[in-house]
Amino acid sequence: MQINKYIDFTNLKADAKTADIIRLCEIAKAHDYASVCVNSRFVSLCKKQLEGSGVNVACVVGFPLGAMSMDAKAYEARKAVEDGADEIDMVIAVGAVKERDNAYVYEDIKAVRACGAVVKVILETCLLTDEEIAFASRICAEAGADFVKTSTGFSTGGATLEAVKIMKENCGKCRIKASGGIRDYDTAVKYIEAGVSRIGTSSEL
């Protein structure tokens, strides 16, 4: 199976250097991955490095906790798009999900959606119950998210096939991105066969 266009090739490390991000882009171009996923500091660099390659630039927003204010997330998303981001991977307000605060979760996503880019909403499924994963997936669909995404890769756990199944049953027309702990081709294929449209990984697959 050709999986290159499923891959969001990722470096979100706090100590990532310019040379590391240039290398990330070089590998992504060589494999013709779907995108590179980086922190906002590196968006303009990636846009320049990937010009004409067909590889998109994705930027994380509200990362990794999701507990930033709605306005802060919206600004971060707008600035990333101004700098060249094609896609935004935002972290949901996890506490608001747990409180079942429909209005806040919905408006938080909509505020980021206003940036005009493709938006992937990270649920951080390791912190949620099955019922909370279902609830969050439904709100993402209602708010017009393009993707629901399992994990940041920076919390207590990563993607699971069980979480993907719940997301798929509840996310409507949203596509699904699995990330966190997917480090080899065979694991990636299992997630794709389960209905995932994107794989977030820092491993060269």
The enclosing H or E element of 18 equals helix 18-31
Pairwise CA distance, residues 58 & 155, whole Å: 20
d(CA 66, CA 53): 31
- CA triple 200-73-75, angle to 5 deg: 120
* C-alpha to C-alpha distance for 189 and 47, rounded to whole angstroms: 28
Q: Give catalytic residue positions.
A: 89, 149, 177
Beta strands in the chain (DSSP E): 7-11, 35-38, 56-61, 87-91, 118-122, 147-149, 175-179, 198-201
Place of tokens 């060269």: 204
d(Cα 66, Cα 89) in Å, to the nearest integer? 11
- Three-class SS of residue 86? coil
